[in-house]
Structure 1
Amino acid sequence: MSIIHDQYLYFTPHDVIDETLAFHAKGNYTIHRATQHCSTLHNIPTEALESLTGQELKLDIFSNPHDQAAARLEQLQLNHHLNRNNSCTSFTHRPLHFSTVQELLSPLLRKEDSNYRRGYPSGGAIYPIEVFCINIEKKVKNWPASSDALHLLPGSRKLEAHSPNINTHKLSQSITPENENIGSPTLALVYCLYLPKAVFKYRYRGYRLALLEAGSMYMLMDLRCKELNLNSRIWSGFTDHQLIKNLDLNPTLFLPACVQLIG
């Protein structure tokens, strides 16, 4: 079942929309060749950053290590289906067939005909995250539409062509800027938060729930990639407004949470 998207706006206070949008915008930054020489995300020295990366946070620093021996845990076997692969650092050129994309997306779909439950959790079953499948530089074979951006309809279990006005090259460049050395991914999944749907019921808490939902979705896709022998990487190296503009979406209503690169 589908619904006209602006019906959510009827129940959404404008101040909640404005304040949530302003908070989200604080996490935006511009990635462009014209500014890369004079902008930086942080100024942490390399040595300090290395010492702070990958560490756990131990709270009980005075306990006797021998007292914790009984609580020791065992990691998963390397070949266990829940043991995810490491994120891909550099994608090699690898064309995919569209049938593989269809297989990849199956865990996100509505599970049964008798109800609306999907393959991932959502607070209040609101499902405010919209997924767009991007054929990066037309590398996916047998793509079914002239538009290289397809919108996932999990309830209907199908994909719809998003917009005929999309410039594939500009969209691909907004996802993977030229100054990023990540290789040549084939497919991108863009997880977008539709703001009115996220906050109409739970208000500010709904924004948090939507981000949690996006995380559960990309983790599910990450494990599915392992099953299909695909490489995956969660990606945030994009400029929000540029990406949404090239997707032909309203940047005040659709907020990109993250991108998942696949190849």
Structure 2
Amino acid sequence: MTTWESICDPPATDEAWELFHENSKTGRFSDVRPTELVLARMAELAESLPYTHYPTIPLPDEHLPLERPLGDTLADRVSARSLRACPLTLPAVATLLHHAYGVTRTNVGTGYPRPFRSVPSGGALYPLEIYFHSTRVEGIEPGLYHYNPAENLLHLIRYGDRSRQICEGVLQGELLANAAMVVFVTALFERSVFKYGDRGYRFVLLEAGHVAQNLALVANALGLASVGIGGYFDREVDELIGIDGLAHSTIYLTALGRDAGAAPGPGGPV
């Protein structure tokens, strides 16, 4: 039986997930940030990390066609338990990144300060950043790259193949041992929590799920395989990318390639 005392003084818990869930609930009397303050803060926050002075690589504006029926793409989506080596083309990478988190429509006439992207985002704040490690992408060197959706280009963050280091930073490193590329979804939490408080942290995680699902479906439509990775050593992965792990931290990984368990398909690059 629920009592007034139990509502006003709920039992203490040491479970971090329960504390988070309780503290991130929205109530009738939760603070609401005035629009003018939200717009002013958004103007101070970069739409995408600029990485000034890092080498840049423009991405193709034209993307590969996704002609497979949506129903088939959804029904056939599986998490590959092992990947086999395959090359990817730069247009394929551009297609994957664009549909994962790219700019898809203008904000003109909407009252929102930024263009919209391929996923729903709480307040259209877009708190995520996308990095990837390239092992077998034609036209670019192996290394760690940052995707800038606003300018549709890549920044080369670190040159050199770090596949072994990435595998060592994942609990089941064999899942991505032969990946053509590994995508890292990171979050700059301030972009969301400045407006929504603890609830904003929930929104960040939800948004990362949208990005990962887009990646999985587009990969499937392109004849590729994918596997989402949640089991990794956070500090090691954050250090690999070069982020602090607190204000800016990795929250999801996706490995892409060919499914080693499937019948071999065409050997050429996608």
Same fold, TM exceeding 0.5?
Answer: yes
In structure 1, what is the Cα distance between the partners aligned to 2:202 and 2:84? 35
Identity %: 22
Q: Which amino acid aligns with 1:216?
A: H
CA shift, 1:224, in A, is 0.4
CA shift, 1:162, in A, is 2.7
Matched, 1:134 2:129: no
In structure 2, what is the Cα distance between the partners aligned to 1:215 and 1:151? 19
Matched, 1:213 2:207: yes
Return the match for 1:155 from 150, 157, 172: 150
Q: Is the 8 A contact 2:125 2:191 kept in 1?
A: yes
Which residues of 2 match residues 56-205 of structure 1 at below 5 A? 80-107=72-99, 108-115=101-108, 116-135=115-134, 138-143=135-140, 148-163=143-158, 168-169=162-163, 171-176=165-170, 180-182=173-175, 183-205=177-199
SS state of the match for residue 237, structure 2?
A: helix
Return the match for 1:236 from 223, 230, 234: 230
In structure 2, what is the Cα distance between the partners aligned to 1:163 and 1:250? 16
Structure 1 residues 88 and 167: CA distance shift in structure 2, 3 A: closer
SS state of the match for residue 208, structure 1?
A: helix
Q: Which amino acid aligns with 1:150?
A: Y
In structure 1, what is the Cα distance between the partners aligned to 2:118 and 2:231? 27
Superposition RMSD on alpha carbons, in Å?
Answer: 3.0
In structure 1, what is the Cα distance between the partners aligned to 2:84 and 2:126? 33
In structure 2, what is the Cα distance between the partners aligned to 1:198 and 1:167? 33
In structure 2, what is the Cα distance between the partners aligned to 1:236 and 1:111? 27
> TM-score, normalised to structure 2's length?
0.61
Match of 1:262 in 2: 256
Q: Is the 8 A contact 1:110 1:156 kept in 2?
A: no
Structure 1 residues 167 and 226: CA distance shift in structure 2, 3 A: closer
SS state of the match for residue 134, structure 1?
A: strand
Q: Residues 203-245 of structure 1: CA distance to partner in whole angstroms, max 9, x if unpaired? A: 1000000000000111111110111101011012310000011
Structure 1 residues 141 and 175: CA distance shift in structure 2, 3 A: farther
CA shift, 1:176, in A, is 4.3
Q: Is the 8 A contact 2:131 2:147 kept in 1?
A: yes
CA shift, 1:250, in A, is 1.5
* Unpaired stretches in structure 1, ≥5 consecutive residues: 10-76
Q: Which amino acid aligns with 1:96?
A: L
CA shift, 1:256, in A, is 1.2
Match of 2:5 in 1: none
Structure 1 residues 219 and 82: CA distance shift in structure 2, 3 A: same
Match of 1:32 in 2: none
SS state of the match for residue 111, structure 1?
A: strand
SS state of the match for residue 80, structure 1?
A: helix
Q: Which amino acid aligns with 2:143?
A: D
In structure 2, what is the Cα distance between the partners aligned to 1:184 and 1:176? 14
CA shift, 1:100, in A, is 1.4
In structure 2, what is the Cα distance between the partners aligned to 1:6 and 1:175? 36
CA shift, 1:82, in A, is 3.3
Structure 1 residues 248 and 78: CA distance shift in structure 2, 3 A: closer
* Unpaired stretches in structure 2, ≥5 consecutive residues: 1-39, 47-68, 109-114, 258-270
In structure 2, what is the Cα distance between the partners aligned to 1:180 and 1:189? 14
> TM-score, normalised to structure 1's length?
0.63
In structure 1, what is the Cα distance between the partners aligned to 2:154 and 2:186? 16
Structure 1 residues 224 and 201: CA distance shift in structure 2, 3 A: same
In structure 2, what is the Cα distance between the partners aligned to 1:247 and 1:87? 24
Structure 1 residues 4 and 189: CA distance shift in structure 2, 3 A: farther
SS state of the match for residue 181, structure 1?
A: helix
TM superposition outliers: structure 1 runs of 4+ over 4 Å: 3-9, 174-177
